[in-house]
Chain A
Amino acid sequence: MTYSIEARDLRLDYRGSPALRGIDFRLAGGGIYGLIGRNGSGKTSLLSLVASLAKPTAGTLLVDGEDPFENPRIMPDVCLVQDRIKDSGDEIWKVGSFLRTAAALRPRWDQEYADRLVDLFELPRRKRISSLSLGKRSALNIIVGLASRAPVTIFDEAYVGLDAPSRYAFYDEVLADYMAHPRTVIMSSHLVEEVDSLFEEVLILDEGRLLVHEDTDDLRSRGVSLTGPAQAVDDLRHGLTVLNEQVLGGTKSITVYGDLDEDALSRARAAGVEAGPVRLQDLFVHLTRKDRR
C-alpha cells in the first residue's frame, strides 16, 4: 500500500517567521525519497505537515489525494519517526509496553517483525525508556516506523546516536522491508554519503524553498568535476552553473552543474581535461552554500 504526496504553494509560519515559503512537488508514492537540507532549511516543518502535527499556514498538502490534517483515514497510515522521543511523557514507559501501544495505533502493524527488530537492535524489553541510551531510543523509534508498515513512513534524522553498524542495519532493514512491502518512505539525513544510494528521488530544501527535486541518478549525472589546463577548463564553463572553483598553478578544477555538451567535452579531453563524478554530498554542499544564496 503506497500513498502519493503532493504540495502546492505550501507555506508554514513557525513562531512568526516563515519556515516553508511556498513549496511545490509531487511524489508518486511507492519509492524511497531523500529529503536533505541544512539545519533550519524546513525539513522537519515539511515532514510535520505530512504527519498532521501542524496545519499549513497557506497552500495545499495532499496525502493520497486528501488533506491529512485531523484526517482519521490518513493519520494512522502516516508514521513519522523523529530523532528523539519528544517530551511527551513516553519516557516512563517500558520498551515492551511502548511497542504494544504503538501496535494498537497502527492498523498495519507486524508484531513478528517488531520482535525480530527488538532482537536485532538488542533492546531490553523490560527496561524503561528513560534508562536507555540515545542510540537505543533511536532504535526503538526506528522499530516503530518499520513495524508500522505505514503506507507513508518517514524517518526524520532517525539515526541520531546509532553507531555505524546499527545505522547500516537500519538502512538494510528499510530497503529490505520496502521491497517486501512497498510503501512511500521519506528519509531525511545529514549523512548523505551513507544513504544516497537508497534514494530513488532527492529533494533538497534550502531556507524554506525547494531547491531541487530530481531522480537521484539524473541529479548525480548533472554534476561534473573538470580538471585540467586552466584555459581548456574555462572554455567548458559557458552556460553551466559553476559551483566550485580551485586553482593550483596552471591547473584548474571546477565543479559544474547542468547539462554538459558532450562534443565540447570531447574537445576538452583532447586538451587534457579530465571529467569526474561529483558526489551527491558535494553537490548538496555547493548548492546550499551561504554565498550562493
Chain B
Amino acid sequence: MFDDRSPIYQQIADKIKNDVLSGELSADTQVMSTNQYAAFYRINPATAAKAFRQLIDEGVLYKRRGIGMFVSGEARPVLLAQRRERFFREVVDVMLAEARVLGISLDDVVRHIETGRGTQK
C-alpha cells in the first residue's frame, strides 16, 4: 500500500496507533467497537473491521470474546520502535535529499539543528 493514497481503514488504523503512541489509549483500555467507528465515520462496518483486523494482526489490539477489543501491553513500545525507524527514513532522509537539491551542506543542516536544540532548552 502506498503512503499517499491510504484507504479509509488505513486512516482509522493510523488514528488508533497515534492515540496509543500519545498515551491517550493506554494498555488494556477498551477501544470503540467496529459499529461505533462505522457510525462515527459514516463508513461500512466491513471497512472499519479491516482496520481492527490489521491492528490485531500487528499486535496493537487484542480481542476479548464477547466483550470487545483492547490495547495490548506491548503496543506502545512496538509502535515507538517502528515510528523511530520510520522517522529517519521518511523524515530525516527526505529532508537531507531536499537539502541536497537546494545546495545546503550537511554541515549547515547540523549547525541549524544544534542551534535549535540550544534554543529549545
| Given A172-B39, A175-B38, A179-B38, CB of A199 within 8 Å of CB of B5 | no
Residue A284 at the chain B interface, CB threshold 8 Å: no
B46–A200 CB distance below 8 A: yes
Query: What separation, in Å, do the CA atoms of A224 and B42 have in the docked complex?
Result: 24
Residue A274 at the chain B interface, CB threshold 8 Å: yes
CB distance from A172 to the nearest CB of B (A): 7
Q: Could you tell me which residues of chain A, from 234 to 275, have a CB within 8 Å of some CB in chain B? A: 265, 274-275
Residue A198 at the chain B interface, CB threshold 8 Å: yes
Residue B7 at the chain A interface, CB threshold 8 Å: yes
The residues of B that contact A171 with a CB separation of less than 8 Å are: 42
CB distance from A262 to the nearest CB of B (A): 8
A198–B42 CB distance below 8 A: yes
Residue B45 at the chain A interface, CB threshold 8 Å: yes
| Given A220-B7, A221-B1, A275-B4, CB of A32 within 8 Å of CB of B42 | no
CB distance from A144 to the nearest CB of B (A): 23
Q: Could you tell me which residues of chain A, from 127 to 184, have a CB within 8 Å of some CB in chain B? A: 168, 171-172, 175-176, 179
Q: Which residue of B lies closest to A31 (CB)?
A: B46
The residues of B that contact A176 with a CB separation of less than 8 Å are: 39
| Given A197-B47, A200-B47, A217-B50, CB of A274 within 8 Å of CB of B4 | yes
Residue B35 at the chain A interface, CB threshold 8 Å: yes
Query: What separation, in Å, do the CA atoms of A39 and B112 have in the docked complex?
Result: 60
| Given A197-B42, A200-B44, A217-B50, CB of A179 within 8 Å of CB of B2 | no
Chain A interface residue count: which class?
20 to 34
* Main SS at interface, chain A: helix
Q: Could you tell me which residues of chain A, from 165 to 213, have a CB within 8 Å of some CB in chain B? A: 168, 171-172, 175-176, 179, 197-200
Query: What separation, in Å, do the CA atoms of A32 and B2 have in the docked complex?
Result: 27
B44–A198 CB distance below 8 A: yes
Query: What separation, in Å, do the CA atoms of A175 and B38 have in the docked complex?
Result: 8
Residue B43 at the chain A interface, CB threshold 8 Å: yes
B42–A275 CB distance below 8 A: no
The residues of A that contact B4 with a CB separation of less than 8 Å are: 274-277
The residues of A that contact B43 with a CB separation of less than 8 Å are: 197-198
Q: Which residue of A lies closest to B33 (CB)?
A: A179
Q: Which residue of B lies closest to A32 (CB)?
A: B44
- Contact code string B42-64 (vs A, CB < 8 Å = 1, else 0): 11111100100000000000000
CB distance from A283 to the nearest CB of B (A): 13
Residue B8 at the chain A interface, CB threshold 8 Å: yes
Most buried by A among B2, B4, B6, B8: B2
Query: What separation, in Å, do the CA atoms of A88 and B101 have in the docked complex?
Result: 71
A217–B47 CB distance below 8 A: yes
Residues of A within 8 A of B (CB): 31-32, 168, 171-172, 175-176, 179, 197-200, 216-217, 220-221, 224, 265, 274-277
The 6 A-B pairs of least Cβ separation, nearest first, read A277-B5, A197-B43, A200-B46, A179-B35, A200-B44, A217-B7
Extra A-B contacts (14), CB below 8 Å, given A217-B8, A265-B2: A175-B38, A175-B42, A175-B44, A179-B38, A197-B41, A198-B44, A200-B46, A200-B47, A217-B50, A221-B1, A224-B5, A274-B4, A276-B5, A277-B4
What are 29 pairs between A and B in contact, CB < 8 Å?
A31-B44, A32-B44, A168-B42, A172-B42, A175-B38, A175-B39, A175-B42, A175-B44, A179-B35, A179-B38, A179-B45, A197-B42, A200-B44, A200-B46, A216-B44, A217-B7, A217-B50, A220-B7, A221-B5, A224-B5, A265-B2, A274-B4, A275-B2, A275-B4, A275-B5, A276-B4, A276-B5, A277-B4, A277-B6
